[in-house]
Amino acid sequence: MLQRVFRLAPLILLFALALPLRAGAADLVWRSWNDGLREAQATGRPVLVDVYTDWCGWCKKMDRESYSRAEVRDFLGRRFVTVRLDAESPTQLRYRGEELSTRALVSHFRVTGYPTTIFLASNGDHVVTVPGYVPPGRFLVLLRYIGDGHYERGVSFQDFEKAQSSQR
């Protein structure tokens, strides 16, 4: 019996390692700050930065209700590089050629509460900082506005939002 377990062990290990690789496009991959900015530069995709803390109840609600929604996850996976940033982490980060503490970076983007969503262009330019919890429907509208490049074409968010609600 023990010999059978040892013979199956490599297969079980291979299966366990392959599970994350089989995940579909709807599964979000959260990158670190430095890796995410490098990937955005290489792919030309904008960056969504989820700034959170471990103790933040609204952050957990955003995870449960907005980030877990299939349409949100799919759109993020296709159009954005997703970065998760713990505002209380001691990690040193690079931005615009400077080495910064996480707190200094969060302060640079004027984050005053959690969760906060920061959008960056693929080159790292700041697009917009969105404070607080955003319900899934409105969050998806915001993602489409940024991810489909409407802000780059000079369309106001209010006009885009009106157009989206008239299409429903």
**CATH number of the domain encompassing residue 101:** 3.40.30.10
Indicate whether 76 belongs to any domain: yes
Q: How many CA atoms lie within 13 A of 114 on its CB side?
A: 19
In this structure, how many other beta carbons lie within 10 angstroms of the beta carbon of residue 142?
19
Indicate whether 24 belongs to any domain: no
Nearest in space to 62 (alpha carbons), one of 136, 5, 120 = 136
Longest dimension (CA), the chain: 68
Angle formed at CA 79 by CA 53 and CA 48, multiple of 5 degrees: 20
Indicate whether 145 belongs to any domain: no
pLDDT tens-place values along the chain, 168 residues long: 445 434 544 433 333 333 333 333 347 899 999 999 999 999 999 999 999 999 999 999 999 999 999 999 999 999 999 999 999 999 999 999 999 999 999 999 999 999 999 999 999 999 999 999 999 999 999 999 999 999 889 988 988 888 888 776
Provide the token pair at 24.
């579909």
Indicate whether 10 belongs to any domain: no
Quick one: which H or E segment has residue 36? Answer: helix 33-43
Predicted pLDDT of residue 167: 76
Rg (CA), the chain: 19
Number of domains, the chain: 1
Give residue 124's domain range. 29-134
Predicted pLDDT of residue 166: 78
pTM of the model: 0.81
- CA-based end-to-end distance of the chain: 61
Instruction: Tell me how far apart the alpha carbons of residues 10 and 38 are, in angstroms, rounded to a whole number.
Output: 35
Angle formed at CA 20 by CA 61 and CA 8, multiple of 5 degrees: 130
Q: Do 155 and 146 meet the contact criterion of CB atoms below 8 Å apart?
A: no
Indicate whether 140 belongs to any domain: no
Instruction: Tell me how far apart the alpha carbons of residues 109 and 116 are, in angstroms, rounded to a whole number.
Output: 10
